[in-house]
Amino acid sequence: MTIHKEGYTSIALTVLFIFIINALAHYYLPDYPRIIWLVYVISFVLFVTILQFFRSPKRLIPLNDGHILCPADGKVVVIEETEETEYFKDKRIQISIFMSPVNVHINRTPISGLVRFFKYHPGKYLMAWNPKSSILNERTTVVVANQQGKEVLFRQIAGAMARRIVWYVKEGDQVAQGQEFGFIKFGSRVDVFLPLGTKVNVKLGEKVTGGITPLAIW
């Protein structure tokens, strides 16, 4: 299993924490082997969970200019027509993907093209499924335009557990479909805003895979 670069520090701190907890258990609880074994089990589960979170599976991206690929692994929690107030300032189709702590948290570019807009917003840490999280939580907004000038806006949104959003793009960059554009640590959500009339290819509650599942078709 390949580990994403964003996980190195977190994994190292987890190993240090596990080492300290196990050492304290051995020192203070030598007469309670059951408790020591319980500490072992909890330590193992914690370590495996952290590894699972930062895994970076290899994926063959199905490049298709007619598709808008899913930017993240998770579950579709919103499909609706709504007002996008930051960049487009008009009505768009919003599709939101909720990433639980067990999902891969790599974020991928839905289309190839030019990054026309990027902005980072510091903010709160409401639950990722809270509708207000898209305007109040820590987040980034990215807009990419393809060769035909069609634009897609996608937004990383921190959740209650997330405390760090990472991004690898800036305005003026050329990006490829399925390319990593960022990472969110420990539970989060990604919103995608599409032009009205775009054919949505997913359903509410559907599990989707970043860089693989076509969210919509032009």
pLDDT in tens, 30-48: 888 899 999 999 999 999 9
What's the confidence (pLDDT) of residue 122?
86
Contact (CB, 8 A) for 6 and 49: no
Q: Which helix (H) or strand (E) holds 23?
A: helix 8-28
Q: What is the mean pLDDT of the chain?
A: 90
Reply yes or no on whether 112 is catalytic: no
Dist CA 192 CA 180 (whole Å): 15
Q: What are the structural domain ranges in the chain?
A: 5-53, 67-217
Q: Which of 43, 112, 133, 188 is catalytic?
A: 188
Question: pTM for the full model?
Answer: 0.84
- Tens digit of each residue's pLDDT (9 = 90 or more) over 150-185: 999 999 998 666 567 889 999 999 999 999 999 987
What's the confidence (pLDDT) of residue 126?
63
- Tens digit of each residue's pLDDT (9 = 90 or more) over 95-110: 999 988 788 889 999 9
Dist CA 65 CA 77 (whole Å): 25
Domain 67-217 matching CATH 1.10.3210: the answer reads no
